[in-house]
Chains A and B, each alone.
Chain A
Amino acid sequence: MEMLKGNVAIAEAAIRVGLEAYFGYPITPQTELLEHLSRRMVELDRPFVQAESEVAAINMVYGAACAGVRVMTSSSSPGISLMQEGLSYIAGSDIPCVLVDIMRGGPGLGNILPSQGDYFQITRSAGHGDYRPIVLAPASVQEAIDFTVLAFDLAEKYRHLVIVAADGQIGQMMEPAELPAMRPLRTARPDWALTGKAGREKNVITSIYLKGEEMEAYNQRVQARIATIRTAEQRWVETDTEDADLLVIGFGTAGRVAYSAVEEARAKGLNVGLLRPQSLFPFPTERIAELAQQVSGILVVEMNAGQMLEDVRLAVGTSAPVDFYGRMGGMVPMPDEILTAIEDVYPVAIR
């Protein structure tokens, strides 16, 4: 075990899993990630570029990914907004890419405090057009490491955009965690990559299909892939759900603080359980729908105005009442606030 800051842990995990090139631009509360890579990538003789802007960085990532290079970038909320065009081009080109979003308070320039306000932005498309990135949401430094490793594996398995979405608190927190062993760098490039056509047929990577029929056929292939991802890649953890009358749902830091509140509620004799989605897309819809049949009420806790709440409502339908407790603007809910919200909702739940 090593004591690691979330941002540093993600950076080092990416190196260990074989990150070949990094392009990025500093922004708090993500900067230690780039800072760690600026030292380590150079030590390991791998390309590291601090670009002139997020727009430049994501297009450098696009280029490297087209060449079959294991590549990533990272930023925080306003920087992710700047990257949206490039992200959409990447998604429209069927190339693997890993993006880390250490979310901060917004909208606008906002502040540098922890937030989950980018949920809509990153789970719906993270750019224009019809696609859904895979979105993984760690709640600890260990999960930040594990999901970074997983992100590269999923990105390459599906040739898909994968976003690791953590709030600023995960990025800034230190915890003991285990890093993966150093994997050797890849020597062979994928067969679809742009590596120079000498000795083989020409590869084309593009996101432009001028004919509507071709663009629609492309979209259908993307949607088929997303449907596979939807069934195969849902991830979540549950605590005390077996006999729960009230189900609390939260991800990332909000889910972790909710864990403490659920433990305190249990100590007070309330039958409360917790479900913490680890993948925000695909969302664990079926399991939540199943639990909605069992419980008498659901409380969603987020560090935003209620964004995952909409996915929960889609999953639950009319099976159970869904309540919400949220903090915004960089405020992190304390366990006692969530406990109060649980107690407020609970009598209704068992009515």
Chain B
Amino acid sequence: MQHELIFSGFGGQGVMFAGQLLAYAAMDTGYHVTWIPSYGPEMRGGTAHCTVVISDKPIGSPVVRRPQIAIVFNKPSFDKYEPLVRPGGLLVINSSLVDDPVTRERLDVLRIPATQMAEQVGTPRLTNVVLLGALLAERPILPVNALCDALDAHIPAHRRNLLPQNIEAVRRGAAYAGDFETMGIP
């Protein structure tokens, strides 16, 4: 099995961290994983993206042209990746900032008002974690719990006070997208 994902949004929305958190969770679950940022001429307020590849065998190319899954945090990212997701793939849309219709067929779409939900948890900076929770409830490439464990294992000591909020954001994202009870979230 191999999963190829692109996370895309404004700089500051936590796009890079979302990809890293998923990568940590994949590593801790025992998979091969690569994480690559876009690090070119990015600017404040511009878009940034990262690519995550998760596989049960050694990974060749860490770059992908057409991901199986794209998580779009804002409209420019929607415009870029809606046409690129592979047929049968999944597009996760932050509907707090994107209300465009999806014109493609043979594409699974999950719309989630992630920024509003993050604000309800306490801060819009949790948008990324809400989206990750929703992603894994929709496509169980890893157990949702692996995200919570990865947060617990890799959050820097000086940010540890933010752990409960982050886990709550994962739970709400997952609950929005899937059946909360069957996911075994504590």
Interface residues, chain A, CB within 8 Å of chain B? 1, 3, 28-29, 111-113, 168-169, 172-176, 256-261, 263, 330, 332, 334-336
Contacts of B32 in A (CB 8 A): 176
Instruction: Determine which of B20, B24, B36 lies in contact with A172 in the assembled complex, contact meaning CB atoms within 8 Å.
Output: B36
B:134-153 near A, CB below 8 Å: none
Contacts of A173 in B (CB 8 A): 34-36, 62
Interface on chain B toward A: helix, strand, loop, or mixed SS? Answer: mixed
CA A13 to CA B64, docked complex, whole Å: 29
Q: Is B101 an interface residue (CB 8 A)?
A: no
Nearest-neighbour CB distance to chain B for A73, whole angstroms, equals 22
Q: Is the CB of B39 within 8 A of A174?
A: no
**Interface code B12-41, partner A: CB below 8 Å = 1, 0 otherwise?**
000000001001100100001111110111
Nearest-neighbour CB distance to chain B for A55, whole angstroms, equals 26
Given the known interface contacts A1-B27, A174-B23, the answer about A256 and B62 at a Cβ–Cβ threshold of 8 Å is: yes
Instruction: Determine which of A112, A175, A263, A332 lies in contact with B34 in the assembled complex, contact meaning CB atoms within 8 Å.
Output: A175
Instruction: Determine which of A3, A113, A256, A259 lies in contact with B27 in the assembled complex, contact meaning CB atoms within 8 Å.
Output: A3
9 A-B pairs besides A111-B40, A256-B61 with CB distance below 8 A are: A3-B20, A28-B39, A111-B41, A172-B37, A173-B34, A174-B20, A176-B33, A257-B60, A336-B65
CA A275 to CA B158, docked complex, whole Å: 46
Instruction: Determine which of B27, B60, B62, B65 lies in contact with A176 in the assembled complex, contact meaning CB atoms within 8 Å.
Output: B27
Q: Is B63 an interface residue (CB 8 A)?
A: yes
Given the known interface contacts A257-B63, A335-B60, A336-B65, the answer about A175 and B37 at a Cβ–Cβ threshold of 8 Å is: no
A-B contact pairs, 6 of them (CB 8 A): A1-B27, A3-B35, A172-B39, A175-B62, A176-B33, A256-B60
Measured CB to CB, the nearest residue on chain B to A264 is B60
Query: Ordered nearest first, which 6 A-B pairs have the shortest CB separation?
Result: A260-B60, A259-B60, A260-B61, A174-B35, A257-B61, A334-B65
Contacts of B65 in A (CB 8 A): 334-336
Q: Is the CB of A330 within 8 A of B35?
A: no
Q: Which of B24, B34, B41, B60 has the most CB of A within 10 A?
A: B60
Size range of the interface on B? 20 to 34
Interface residues, chain B, CB within 8 Å of chain A? 20, 23-24, 27, 32-37, 39-41, 60-65, 154
Given the known interface contacts A112-B40, A113-B40, the answer about A175 and B35 at a Cβ–Cβ threshold of 8 Å is: yes
Instruction: Determine which of A29, A176, A260 lies in contact with B39 in the assembled complex, contact meaning CB atoms within 8 Å.
Output: A29
CA A263 to CA B60, docked complex, whole Å: 9
Nearest-neighbour CB distance to chain A for B115, whole angstroms, equals 26
Measured CB to CB, the nearest residue on chain A to B41 is A111
Given the known interface contacts A1-B27, A3-B27, the answer about A335 and B39 at a Cβ–Cβ threshold of 8 Å is: no
Measured CB to CB, the nearest residue on chain A to B31 is A176
Contacts of B62 in A (CB 8 A): 169, 173, 175, 256
Nearest-neighbour CB distance to chain A for B131, whole angstroms, equals 19
Nearest-neighbour CB distance to chain B for A323, whole angstroms, equals 20
Contacts of B40 in A (CB 8 A): 111-113, 330
CA A50 to CA B63, docked complex, whole Å: 33
Nearest-neighbour CB distance to chain A for B91, whole angstroms, equals 20
CA A29 to CA B23, docked complex, whole Å: 21
CA A216 to CA B116, docked complex, whole Å: 75
Contacts of B24 in A (CB 8 A): 3
Contacts of A261 in B (CB 8 A): 60-61
Q: Is the CB of B61 within 8 A of A334?
A: yes
Q: Is the CB of A169 within 8 A of B36?
A: yes
CA A168 to CA B38, docked complex, whole Å: 11
Contacts of B36 in A (CB 8 A): 169, 172-174
Q: Is the CB of A335 within 8 A of B61?
A: yes
Q: Is the CB of B33 within 8 A of A175?
A: yes
CA A29 to CA B36, docked complex, whole Å: 13
Measured CB to CB, the nearest residue on chain B to A338 is B61
Contacts of A336 in B (CB 8 A): 65
Q: Which of B33, B39, B64 has the most CB of A within 10 A?
A: B39
Contacts of A111 in B (CB 8 A): 40-41
Nearest-neighbour CB distance to chain A for B147, whole angstroms, equals 14
Q: Is the CB of A174 within 8 A of B60?
A: no
Q: Which of B27, B40, B61 has the most CB of A within 10 A?
A: B61
CA A247 to CA B121, docked complex, whole Å: 55
CA A113 to CA B36, docked complex, whole Å: 12
Q: Which of A28, A168, A176, A260 has the most CB of B within 10 A?
A: A176
CA A172 to CA B19, docked complex, whole Å: 14
Nearest-neighbour CB distance to chain A for B93, whole angstroms, equals 24
CA A176 to CA B24, docked complex, whole Å: 9
Contacts of B23 in A (CB 8 A): 3, 174
Contacts of A176 in B (CB 8 A): 27, 32-33
CA A256 to CA B61, docked complex, whole Å: 6
CA A334 to CA B36, docked complex, whole Å: 14
